Amino acid sequence: MKKEQNDYLTQTGPGTPMGELFRRYWQPVLLSEELAEPDGPPVRLEILSEKLLAFRDSSGRLGVIDEFCAHRGVSLWFGRNEENGIRCPYHGWKYDINGKCIEIPSEPSESKLCDRIRLKSYPLEERGGIIWIYMGPPEFKPDLPEYEFALAPPKRRFITKRLQESNWLQALEGGIDSSHVSWLHGKNLQSDPLFKGSKGNQYNLNDLKPIFEVVESEGGLYIGVRRNAENNQYYWRVTQWLLPAFTLIPPRGDHPVHGHFWVPINDHQNWAWSFDYHPNRDLTDLEVNAMKDGKGIHVKYIPGTYIPIQNKQNDYLMDRKAQKEGLTFSGIEGIAMQDASLQESMGTIQDRTKENLTSTDNGILMARRRLLNAAKELESRGVSPPGSQPSAHHVRSAAFLLPIDKKFNEAASDAFIAEQGKPHVTV
């Protein structure tokens, strides 16, 4: 990849082509638990290199505005959330959820200054235990997201987020690269309570030379990966990728389905959102407790934060003895941090001019191409990008066996459609 292309894909700040693309989609930015109470503490929120402040006002309405007071630039995070507004502690200027200045105590009553002051603000909406933001032009705002996990009843879903110290793109590319699973996560397939026991795990571990077949979908790609199975069949695992940064990972047995969003904080950090859900049963106590314990795709946090206990400052608590003895392939415990450690090791922005890609990188190549094309189409023609409307969200990942002469996207097309109450297709 040329440096110009790498910059084009990785930069998401205001005015950048990829930044404008991201702004045409609803993005998950906060867990509902972070703004649980009216007049509760506000939350600093950086997304797409914009520093914002989110709060829930006295009436329970959600708002997100520029973090800094229009008077002299004080962070409103220090402000008081009171009587349907945030009041700056420096001189008492007050703003509502739309960023409108509603009081300047030092000004005379006849002053019109307050009427002219308005901070930047964006719409927030709550769905599925997540607070979502839309940062694009109001006239192009799509309907609310309809991803299956977000519409599932609360007892059927579990959602977390964690800070990742890397650009969003290398996190996404790790999410759609399933060829590494047999190596990096091989031991976890046999031991993790949210993965073990699936017949599909055997195919993963027995065939280390997967073949990628990638097909475009309405909102992104079907990333099909096949491995050899018995009786003249292939074992297929098909990941859904929806623009710009949503992945839905194929299920294993009756375990919950899981997936990710990779939301840029700035060009050097992202929020890695992780969700598990089951389409037709409640999650068990065993499953929920395992997720809280950092199993599956989740992590344990430094108390009071969304920062993983295992992080680059402590070398992810790497255990060379466990690595040498084969207890884990990388010496790092947990699927999420096995991935994050290697993605962060590339530097905060990977230099893709130096990489040497293979056939197992076809999903990554096609995703890059689709992102480039979508951003350029938006830049040149202003068209709505693929996957921004909820009609594209009604998708499922799937795992199945097929005769070797069948095309996965034709023979198993029904498996990729999300329908309420329909069991997912799994092995």
pLDDT in tens, 9-41: 999 999 999 999 999 999 999 999 999 999 999
Span 196-223, mean pLDDT? 93
Residue carrying the six token digits 């040498």 = 324
**Is the pLDDT at 182 greater than 80, yes or no?**
no
Is 357 within 8 Å of 179 (Cβ atoms)? no
**Is the pLDDT at 262 greater than 80, yes or no?**
yes
Cα separation of 155 and 272, whole Å? 22
Share of the chain above pLDDT 70, in %: 100
**Is the pLDDT at 156 greater than 90, yes or no?**
yes
Q: How confident is the model at residue 250 (pLDDT cuts 50, 70, 90)?
A: very high
Mean of the per-residue pLDDT values for the chain? 95
Which pLDDT belongs to residue 178? Answer: 74
Which pLDDT belongs to residue 188? Answer: 84
Share of the chain above pLDDT 90, in %: 90
Could you please report the per-residue DSSP string of 356-387? ---GGGHHHHHHHHHHHHHHHHHHHH-PPPTT
Which pLDDT belongs to residue 177? Answer: 87
Span 55-77, mean pLDDT? 98
Span 353-367, mean pLDDT? 93
Which pLDDT belongs to residue 185? Answer: 87
Q: How confident is the model at residue 243 (pLDDT cuts 50, 70, 90)?
A: very high
CA angle, 370 then 373 then 378, to 5°: 125
Which pLDDT belongs to residue 109? Answer: 84
Which pLDDT belongs to residue 201? Answer: 92
Cα separation of 223 and 324, whole Å? 33
Count of CB atoms situated within 10 Å of the CB of 364: 23
